[in-house]
Structure 1
Amino acid sequence: MSAQPRVLALIALPDATLEALRNHYGFDCTRDYRPDGSLPDGDDAASMLSTVRAVVTNGSTGLDEARMAALPALEIVCAFGAGYENVDTAAAARRGIVVTHAPGTNAATVADHAFGLMLALARGYAPLTEAVRRGQWPASRGARPTLTGAALGIVGMGRIGRLIATRAQGFQMSIGYHGRAPHADAPGRYHASLVELAHASDFLVLACNGGPATRHLVDRAVLRALGPHGYVINVARGSVIDTSALLDALEAREIAGAGLDVIEDEPNAPPALLAHPDVLVTPHMAGRSPASWLAQRDALLASLAQHFGGERVERAVSVR
């Protein structure tokens, strides 16, 4: 009987996923689990790394060419989730390494989270709770904006963007969107200019891919266009918003507030961002729910089984 393929995990994984890897691939947390993203080092590191045939990572941690080079037996890189922007797919392709991801497995959870941030910001859940704790009940009962009938702008009309749009329709929101090109079957009006979309929106939700193509897509001009009554919500990647521009816009009251599940240089959030009363920050967990974790586990196991079973890997990434 041949030995089980060795799997190396470079990200923190749910217990159910670790257990599944133990059962199917003899995964050893003391040897194969590197949740900080580092590769083993020391005298016997090269020998250990030479037997790794699969890596589990995600879009944030990724896997660059240098780390791939330290894994001579590597055959497959699995992103635990939809994002894979920091996996060097070109380097993988040159070596014939398969790269997979799990699109759609956490999309509904992310869409729910985006709406939670919108409601919490507009209705002022966090500052109003603090006001009540301080005994300021009567003084804190002013009118707050709501979502019903408001204008929603979505950046990125992919799986998550479409689920956000579906939820928005339940609030009778008008919908606009921006992306590389319009979609004939997408709800709402396409805006080729992000500045124009921001100007037309009360809430601007970022649900696009990360990576160089969208780095600082939301800059000061976009935030100024959103305006003093507008909110920006980011459930995409921290790099999509220019953090300095966001801080300046908040300080100048050019926007009403921000809901951020992701930030640049995670987890090091600027103190001024955390201290701002009209900013909500969650720790990059919009896609995390029991259901999404199970779906991501199942997608990971399916990709590994297909690859090592000599089958076509359904969730393989196409390299352009």
Structure 2
Amino acid sequence: MVDENIPGAAKCFGQFGEVVTRSGRQIGAADLQDVDILIVRSVTKVNKSLLAGSRVKFVGSTTIGSDHLDTEYLRSQNIQFCTAPGSNADSVVDYVLSVTCRIDGLLESLLGGGRVGIVGYGNVGKRLGQRLSAIGIPWLAYDPLLDPKQYPCLRSLEEVVDSNLLSLHTPLTTSGPFPSFHMLDAKILRAIPQNGVVLNAGRGEVVATAELLALLDSRPDIRLALDVWEGEPNFSPDLAERCVIATPHIAGYSVDGKKAGLRMVATELACFLGEAEQFNADVDDINAAPQVLCTGSDVATVLREAVLGVYDVAEDCQRFLSIIQDSERGARFDLLRKHYPIRRELGYSKLLTSNLDMASLLRAVQGGK
């Protein structure tokens, strides 16, 4: 059983047996009675109520997160499982850069001595930090699960929040010494500097939605760029209307990221089955790599030309804003994700310039690819 919204999955997993596809949100226990292998995305909650009585022995998620998997239950039932950590990290970094280039004055303020605060220093956080450093933007990071002696960039949450752009990339956790659920409440959010930007491309529940909405009444200067929402797909239209950029959980939706996630899970499944994997997926040549000619003579102009020439988040925002007052906005939210247009990553694009001084900047914004 494979989520029908995973591009190329039917062909890729067909080498291991008969493939049946179904909408991820609609996969139920009754669908799994004759299923051995379950391949999902983050929209499918994989737990006892879904798997009890089934013969499922392997669960693969082509996404980077695991909060939709009841890992304790899976281990107790000796069900093998895997995710695809880091597969779409570069896609999410591209999203952050596109938002940075789209919000008025943000790129200039960051290049002029401003700072990015990164919350969650995992695969996305590390790659974001590397690319920011490469293009000359200062940053700090917060991650209480890591050792500051090993990562000197780590600071307290309070210090990281005091940044021109606060970029959230933490997984959702509700237990342990540092749960991320509602980690960003009114007390923390109130410390955001004047005209600061809050970008969330991690999990919607990391931000306390009601407290954020209340805070905006007294702090209308705070600008929001949200890709994830509490209660997805039934997001808050009031919060969406207050955003400068609002999108339907598509930050990691590049075709390159999807292909990488698919391959990681296919490799794990082949190992589990003791079979040789032949990677087959119809995602290689769907769309040629974008080619962008950058003609600017200053750093900000060239960065904007390059980033927005490959991926302009404003187009995703426009599509999303058209559904926020729809009575069926939850269903429309999923349809936007299901019918998401082909998007390539900066690292797989051709960025051209006749200005030799800018050639190294273009390589830097691509992550050195």
- TM-score (ref. length: structure 1): 0.77
| 1:91-110 equivalence runs, <5 A | 91-110=73-92
1:231 counterpart residue number: 197
Q: Is the 8 A contact 1:119 1:147 kept in 2?
A: no
- Pair 1:58 & 2:41 matched: yes
For residue 269 of structure 1, report the CA deviation from its aligned partner.
2.5
In 2 relative to 1, CA 112–99 (structure 1 residues): closer, same or farther, beyond 3 Å?
Answer: same
1:78 counterpart residue number: 60
For residue 254 of structure 1, report the CA deviation from its aligned partner.
5.5
Q: Which amino acid aligns with 1:166?
A: Q
1:111 counterpart residue number: 93
For residue 285 of structure 1, report the CA deviation from its aligned partner.
0.9
For 2:272, which of 295, 303, 307 is the aligned residue?
A: 307
In 2 relative to 1, CA 240–309 (structure 1 residues): closer, same or farther, beyond 3 Å?
Answer: same
For residue 112 of structure 1, report the CA deviation from its aligned partner.
1.1
- Pair 1:203 & 2:157 matched: no
2:20 counterpart residue number: 28
- Pair 1:266 & 2:258 matched: no
For residue 191 of structure 1, report the CA deviation from its aligned partner.
1.9
SS across alignment from 1:225 = coil
2:129 counterpart residue number: 165
In 2 relative to 1, CA 104–203 (structure 1 residues): closer, same or farther, beyond 3 Å?
Answer: same
Deviations 1:42-72 (A, max 9, x none): xxx6xxx33211111233423012112131x
Deviations 1:29-52 (A, max 9, x none): 3xxx243243164xxx6xxx3321
| 1:129-278 equivalence runs, <5 A | 146-148=109-111, 149-180=113-144, 181-186=146-151, 188=153, 190-192=154-156, 194-199=157-162, 201-212=163-174, 213-253=179-219, 255-276=221-242, 278=243
Q: Is the 8 A contact 2:2 2:9 kept in 1?
A: no
SS across alignment from 2:109 = coil
Q: Is the 8 A contact 1:233 1:260 kept in 2?
A: yes
CA distance in 2, matches of 1:89, 1:170: 37
What is the number of equivalent residue pairs in this alignment?
A: 270
Deviations 1:75-112 (A, max 9, x none): 11111111111211101111111110111111111111
| 1:39-54 equivalence runs, <5 A | 39=28, 41=30, 49-54=32-37
CA distance in 2, matches of 1:303, 1:218: 35
Q: Which amino acid aligns with 1:147?
A: L
Q: Is the 8 A contact 1:81 1:103 kept in 2?
A: yes
| 1:6-21 equivalence runs, <5 A | 8-10=1-3, 12-14=5-7, 16-21=8-13
2:297 counterpart residue number: none
Deviations 1:178-208 (A, max 9, x none): 11133445363x223x223212x11111111
Runs of 4+ in 1 over 6 A off after TM superposition: none
Q: Is the 8 A contact 2:24 2:40 kept in 1?
A: no
CA distance in 2, matches of 1:11, 1:230: 39
2:300 counterpart residue number: none
Identity %: 25
Q: Is the 8 A contact 2:29 2:50 kept in 1?
A: no
Aligned-CA RMSD value: 2.2
Q: Is the 8 A contact 1:219 1:245 kept in 2?
A: yes
CA distance in 2, matches of 1:210, 1:122: 30
Deviations 1:12-43 (A, max 9, x none): 221x12222234422133xxx243243164xx
In 2 relative to 1, CA 119–250 (structure 1 residues): closer, same or farther, beyond 3 Å?
Answer: farther
For residue 147 of structure 1, report the CA deviation from its aligned partner.
2.4
In 2 relative to 1, CA 310–23 (structure 1 residues): closer, same or farther, beyond 3 Å?
Answer: closer
Larger Rg: 1
In 2 relative to 1, CA 150–122 (structure 1 residues): closer, same or farther, beyond 3 Å?
Answer: farther
CA distance in 2, matches of 1:246, 1:210: 18
CA distance in 2, matches of 1:111, 1:223: 22
CA distance in 2, matches of 1:77, 1:118: 36
CA distance in 2, matches of 1:161, 1:150: 18
